[in-house]
Amino acid sequence: KAGVTQTPRYLIKTRGQQVTLSCSPISGHRSVSWYQQTPGQGLQFLFEYFSETQRNKGNFPGRFSGRQFSNSRSEMNVSTLELGDSALYLCASSQEGTSGNTIYFGEGSWLTVV
């Protein structure tokens, strides 16, 4: 079956713009999490959604937001982009998000802010 799909794979934005990234989880998975990966900070958790509700949130400013749709697909948005937002953004999905679930990652979206 298809894995976690993220679009777009690569994008370049200008400071001050906003960006929306999309994630399609594995069929049947209702939990979707987002992560940011940078060389300096490593992999950091942004937020998690389950059945259209945000259940958990990392320590990121309010410029980072997300949502989940009724079909479990998720989007994340970053407004007023800063140079430091350049990163690999990863989406992960699992059936329930509970311990013991297998959690799969997508290939990520590479965002460059210039």
Q: Which residues bind other proteins (CB under 8 A)?
A: 4, 31-33, 35, 42-45, 48-50, 55-56, 58, 88, 90, 92, 94, 97-100, 102-108, 110
Task: Quote the least distance from Cβ 92 to other proteins, whole Å.
Answer: 7
Q: Write down the least CB distance from residue 24 to other proteins, Å.
A: 14
Minimum distance, C-beta of residue 20 to other proteins, in the bound complex (Å): 19
Is there a contact between 46 and 66 (Cβ–Cβ < 8 Å)?
A: yes
Task: State phi, psi for 41 to the nearest 5 degrees.
Answer: -105, -10
Shortest Å, Cβ 97 to other proteins:
4
Q: Which is nearer to other proteins, 48 or 85 (CB)?
A: 48
Q: Which is nearer to other proteins, 17 or 51 (CB)?
A: 51
Q: Report the distance separating Cα 61 and Cα 82, nearest Å.
A: 12
Q: CA 87, 57, 31 angle in degrees (round to 5)?
A: 90
Identify residue 91 by its one-letter amino acid code.
C
Six-digit token string for 57: 């949130």
